[in-house]
Amino acid sequence: MSAPASNCFPTTEAEVAAVRRFLSLLESEHGMLVKGQVDQLADVVREKSELAAQLAALASRRSEALEAAALTADRSGIAAWFAAHPAETRARDLWSSLLSLAGQARELNRQNGELIQIRLQDNALALEALLGANASLNLYGPDGQSAPSSGRRISDSA
């Protein structure tokens, strides 16, 4: 295992690796959503949640390192650190990779969210059609047996 990029960015290498795994999971999720293969989505969501927690912990450690260097734990603090350490090219390269990968993950996550919304709308329409057909036809009872239409109506006296 290689040494950390710097003492102020001790987690960046691990963050890059974790975001790459996260991006891979998002790509798998995207493929499943496009193909309608939703049976394995729960596993992907669980793995994504675990990675998100890991990423949050790594970002917290990075923030602590910046604050220990008397810098803010935001973009301006990071920019100030890089301005004060121009020779830290490895840290800069890792940071650039992290930002690029995070942008890709954010976009793919947005796309997956849109696909999920489309699936939810399709399911809601199908359910509405089925419930509407069931309410008017009432072909099967709760026991799965054929049941004659009872002529029941919603009481309008309520």
- The pTM for the full model equals 0.74
Residues 6 or more apart whose CB falls under 8 angstroms from that of 77 comprise: 66, 71
- Decide: residue 18, CB within 10 A, 0-12 exposed, 13-18 middle, 19+ buried: buried
The string of pLDDT tens digits covering residues 125-150 is 888 888 876 555 556 667 767 655 55
Structure tokens, 59: 């970002």
Mean pLDDT (whole number) for 16-39: 94
Mean confidence (pLDDT) of the chain: 85
Q: How far is CA 27 from CA 24, 48, 56, 105, in A?
A: 5, 11, 21, 9
Return the H-helix or E-strand segment holding 132: helix 89-137
Return the H-helix or E-strand segment holding 67: helix 41-68
Q: How confident is the model at residue 5, as a pLDDT?
A: 46
Domain residue ranges in the chain: 12-134
Instruction: For the domain made up of 12-134, give the CATH fold.
Output: Methane Monooxygenase Hydroxylase; Chain G, domain 1 (1.20.58)
Q: How confident is the model at residue 73, as a pLDDT?
A: 92
Is residue 7 pLDDT above 70, yes or no? no
Is residue 89 pLDDT above 50, yes or no? yes
Structure tokens, 63: 């923030």
What's the alpha-carbon Rg for the chain, to the nearest Å? 26
Q: How confident is the model at residue 119 (pLDDT cuts 50, 70, 90)?
A: confident
